Chains A and B, each alone.
Chain A
Amino acid sequence: MRATITQLFTIARFSIMELLGTPAVLLVMLTAAMGTLVLPLFQFQRFSEDGRLARDCGLATVFLFALFLVIGSAGRLRRALTDGTAAIALVKPLTRGVWFGGQLLGSTALLLWFLIGMGAAVLTAEAHAPQYHTTGAYANVRGVLLSLLFPIAAILLGAANNRFLRGRFTLTATLALPPLLWGTLFLASDLHLGILTFLPVIFLFLVQILAFSSATALLFSPGVITCITLIGAFTLLLSPGGAAWLPLDSLAYGGSIAPKTLLLLLPQSLCLSTLFVWIGIHLLRRKESV
């Protein structure tokens, strides 16, 4: 048992390294973060909602870019099977289920790290959003520009690590981004921390899609681009765990997520995620060739 857990975490750790080492993941996280942070500058239609428009747009950005990460993770799984990197691992004394589980664990950890960082970005965007009725300004421009320095600092940190310590640029930058995004909160005031309840909701929803996409990725033989497209369309259309949309809808219209909703979502997400993981392991075990 202990050996199996060691193998599971070893595979998860190295899959995180692989994902974090990809420039695409850094690009997705940076784009999502910076896009969310500058939202307050582009709010020409306020509808008397002050920071809520920034929050709603921020949540949409978080979800959309997180989907990219999920679909990219599933595509990477497929690629490992087709390019042969999975074969060398599967010759070692571990089961296919452990290998699949480890890959999913790594992708889930990356997703969580992304959402933690983006939580800070959404809070910051809402805090710097228009307070026209009180300040007469459309946005706290100074605050927005200053908060952009923190994501830029992540890039500089990665560059410095690579230049002086020969470390991995993308790995360092991607790991540093969420903590630095939380640093932007020092520049913000009037934070409504209650909206952070959206994080577990989105996480629970995305974990289901991740498990679903990863299991689906084992079925398709076409190229990576086609696979990613099919997975994306499939997951969006079918929306497994569609009940999670309801709390997000409530939040978008200025509501808040009750703890009771989270308690209902948790078992649903666990059940569906477990089901898709089981299906994925079963498919991999029956797979004719790896």
Chain B
Amino acid sequence: MTNETILELSHVYKTFRDFWGRPTVEAVKDVSFQVQAGEVFGLLGPNGSGKSTTIRMLLGLLKADQGTLQIFGQPPETAKARRAIGYLPEITYLHPFLTPRETLRYYGRLSGLTQDILESRIEDLLKLTGLTHVGNRHVGTFSKGMTRRVGLAQALINAPKLLILDEPTSGLDPVGTREVKDLILALRERGISVLMSSHLLGDVQECSDRILILDRGVTRAQGKVQDLKGTLESFFLHSIAAETSSSPLEAAGGLTWLG
């Protein structure tokens, strides 16, 4: 890990509004962090904490209301900034009528790869994600986990310097989860930076060098994993206790007819 900052957010705000401009959700409030080259940075928080919103703003898919965002020194809207990024969304949106090979070919061409480089990378990525045997089957017939693997492959097709993973282990079985974690650690060894978001404490703890904890759009804590260990556990315990009563069924209004 070097000291070069490849990603920077500074005092970013985002509020979703309705058609009339009235605020509906304050998704991100005054979030700031940096990602250095070669590190794995974790965005941790419960569902609805603003992780995906933050990532979408970083990718130029969503416009921030306030604050500055920079990737490799460029605003996220520019094509130059996105040249060295790979992105795996929380829900893998792929064309169901394409096969994995065609999918990777499509996104590879959009990334500017030439034919010879592309074909060899496609085979390598299919092998890496364990999809060689289904390379010519339509993605629409895949399970969620298999689709996720195709999504991961397309995120790596352009050999990114920064990989952004939104809930990377979502939908994967334990073996797949282990493989993704190992991949993240292997990429770090190769000097590739990773920004991963997750609501699973174990995933983020295991893979990340530094973590930012988000809750309801607000930064609760930020720092190295070993420095935040106590904060991480107590944060999640307190969050769960605050949200629920002693019994989830009682909290839901006493479902006496259940069980």
Nearest residue (CB) in A for B154 is A88
> Do B89 and A10 have beta carbons less than 8 Å apart?
no
Q: Which of B63, B79, B85 contacts A95 (CB 8 A)?
A: B79
**Shortest CB–CB separation between residue A127 and chain B, in angstroms?**
37
Residues of B within 8 A of A88 (CB): 87, 89, 93-94, 107, 151, 154
Residues of B within 8 A of A94 (CB): 79, 110
A14 contacts chain B at the CB level, 8 A cutoff:
yes
> Do B109 and A91 have beta carbons less than 8 Å apart?
no
Residues of A within 8 A of B82 (CB): 91-93
> Do B110 and A7 have beta carbons less than 8 Å apart?
yes
> Do A14 and B95 have beta carbons less than 8 Å apart?
yes
B111 contacts chain A at the CB level, 8 A cutoff:
yes
**Shortest CB–CB separation between residue A18 and chain B, in angstroms?**
6
Interchain CA distance A13-B98 in the complex, whole Å: 12
Interface residues of A in 1-51 (CB under 8 A from B): 3, 6-7, 10-11, 14, 17-18, 21
> Do A91 and B106 have beta carbons less than 8 Å apart?
no
Nearest residue (CB) in B for A10 is B109
> Do A18 and B97 have beta carbons less than 8 Å apart?
yes
> Do B85 and A91 have beta carbons less than 8 Å apart?
yes
**Cβ contacts B71-107/A at 8 Å (1 or 0 each):** 0000000011011010101010111011000000011
Interface residues of B, count at CB 8 A: 29
> Do B107 and A92 have beta carbons less than 8 Å apart?
yes
> Do A93 and B60 have beta carbons less than 8 Å apart?
no
A190 contacts chain B at the CB level, 8 A cutoff:
no
Interchain CA distance A85-B106 in the complex, whole Å: 12
Nearest residue (CB) in A for B114 is A6
Nearest residue (CB) in A for B88 is A88
Q: Which of A17, A83, A84, A91 contacts B97 (CB 8 A)?
A: A17
> Do B93 and A87 have beta carbons less than 8 Å apart?
yes
CB-CB under 8 A for A3 and B112, given A88-B154, A92-B82, A93-B82: yes
Interchain CA distance A88-B56 in the complex, whole Å: 11
> Do B95 and A85 have beta carbons less than 8 Å apart?
yes
> Do B56 and A289 have beta carbons less than 8 Å apart?
yes
> Do B91 and A91 have beta carbons less than 8 Å apart?
no
Residues of B within 8 A of A7 (CB): 109-110, 112
**Shortest CB–CB separation between residue A205 and chain B, in angstroms?**
30
Residues of B within 8 A of A168 (CB): 97
Residues of A within 8 A of B110 (CB): 7, 10-11, 89, 92-94
CB-CB under 8 A for A85 and B94, given A6-B109, A7-B109, A289-B56: yes
Central interface residue in A21, A91, A95, by most chain B CB within 10 Å? A91
Interchain CA distance A18-B106 in the complex, whole Å: 12
> Do B60 and A90 have beta carbons less than 8 Å apart?
yes
Interchain CA distance A14-B104 in the complex, whole Å: 12
Interchain CA distance A95-B59 in the complex, whole Å: 12
Interchain CA distance A166-B59 in the complex, whole Å: 38
**Cβ contacts A235-278/B at 8 Å (1 or 0 each):** 00000000000000000000000000000000000000000000
What would be 30 A-B contacts, judged by CB atoms less than 8 Å apart?
A7-B110, A7-B112, A14-B95, A17-B97, A18-B97, A21-B97, A84-B89, A84-B93, A85-B94, A85-B95, A87-B61, A87-B89, A88-B89, A88-B94, A89-B107, A90-B60, A91-B59, A91-B61, A91-B85, A91-B87, A93-B82, A94-B110, A95-B79, A166-B136, A168-B97, A288-B62, A289-B61, A289-B62, A289-B63, A290-B61
Query: Which positions in B face A, CB cutoff 8 Å?
Result: 56, 59-63, 79-80, 82-83, 85, 87, 89, 91, 93-95, 97-98, 106-107, 109-112, 136, 151, 154, 158
Query: Which positions in A face B, CB cutoff 8 Å?
Result: 3, 6-7, 10-11, 14, 17-18, 21, 83-85, 87-95, 166, 168, 288-290
